Amino acid sequence: MSNIWELDFYSRPLLDANNKKVWELLICDRDRQFEWVRECPSSEVNSEWLAKQLTECVATTGQTPIKIRFFRPSMTNIIMRGCNLVGITGQASRRVFTMSAWLVERMMSIYPNREGFQAVDPNPLPLKVLAAQDPKPVPDALMGERWVLVSLKAGEFAEAKEWSMDFSELLDINHLDPETIVSGIIIVSARATALAAWMSGVDPVFIKFERNLLGDRCQMQLEASADARWVLANLQAPKDQEAIAQGASLEKAKQNAQGFHFLAVQTNLEEEHFAGFWMLKEAI
């Protein structure tokens, strides 16, 4: 069972017998080896109720997570306080891909079969930030010497858990066709361990190559945590035309792979070890 949990505490597209919104708590680990579902009376939507549920969940599973990720900005205060009451670290982060997929499943197959069902929310856990921070440059000490675009077939990730990695977070992509091309960026750095440790702390979500309207300038941006945006590279044509083309290739590959891609950190490309490796996903 993963030691990082994902949580969502919010109202659902259901009305109870009193015509009030049905509130629900969902908790799972990243691999969905366990799922916790509890409805909450609308009169008890508070951090104390959440804390009691977290205590029961820990007791039932016999596991205490190192942190609980969530992304529901309007519920931040309640969720953070509920986590604090039971001594568990809560973290607002868009890296809640498992919860997002679970909610989509419930929107399609669970809630429509319940009495009091309302219209389906097409985006039950919106992970796009409407007012994201302006992109900030990565600190100089954490800049890599270079980066390269790498592509693998989805089927090659079947053994990823066996790879040598210091910091890592993988995602299940078994539902993709094994021949689907999944692209990613490898950052090469002499300070790979320090860079990977920092990267792990900011919860990387997805990489985006953002081009200007003229197409002669491009930024490689890393979206991370709840609303952070970091500039990993500034590119300008014509001197960086090849790198800009690689960025376009990554964006195309993401479209063909349901948004999945990856980020890795290595000391050099010859060794069979990653200082860090993260599977990423952008909502397409």
| 9-66 pLDDT tens trace | 999 999 999 999 999 999 999 989 999 999 999 999 999 999 999 999 999 999 999 9
Q: What is the mean pLDDT of residues 103-124?
A: 92
pLDDT (average), residues 149-170: 96
d(CA 21, CA 109): 19
DSSP H helical ranges for the chain: 47-61, 76-85, 97-109, 192-201, 241-256
Would you say 65 and 3 are in contact if contact means Cβ atoms under 8 Å apart? yes
* Predicted confidence (pLDDT) at residue 246 exceeds the cutoff of 70: yes
Residue 140: per-residue pLDDT: 76
Query: What is the pLDDT at residue 130?
Result: 66
List Cα–Cα distances, 249 to 6, 8, 210, 235, 254, in angstroms. 32, 34, 13, 15, 9
Comparison of pLDDT for 213 and 111, the residue scoring more: 111
Q: Average pLDDT in the 126-135 region?
A: 75
pLDDT tens-place string over residues 132-146? 668 899 877 678 899
Is the confidence at residue 213, as pLDDT, over 60? yes
pLDDT higher than threshold 60 for residue 94:
yes
- Give 157's pLDDT tier (boundaries 50, 70, 90): very high
Q: What is the mean pLDDT of residues 205-213?
A: 91
pLDDT, averaged across the chain: 93
Which of 62 and 216 is assigned the larger pLDDT?
A: 62
Which pLDDT band holds residue 179 (cuts at 50, 70, 90)?
very high
pLDDT at 283: 86
At residue 1 the predicted structure's pLDDT band, cuts being 50, 70 and 90, is low
* CA dist., res. 42 & res. 156, Å (int): 47
Q: What is the pLDDT of residue 142?
A: 74
Q: Can you give the pLDDT at residue 24?
A: 98
CA dist 49 and 121 (Å) reads: 25
pLDDT band for position 158 (50/70/90)? very high
Instruction: Reply yes or no on whether the pLDDT at 215 is more than 80.
Output: no
Closest CA to 280 of 207, 219, 226: 207
Is the preceding omega at residue 13 within 30 degrees of 0, hence cis? no
Domains defined for the chain, CATH in brackets: 4-113 (3.30.420.10), 136-281 (no CATH)
Q: Residue 247 has what pLDDT? A: 96
**pTM (predicted TM-score):** 0.92
CA–CA separation, 179 vs 253, rounded Å? 12
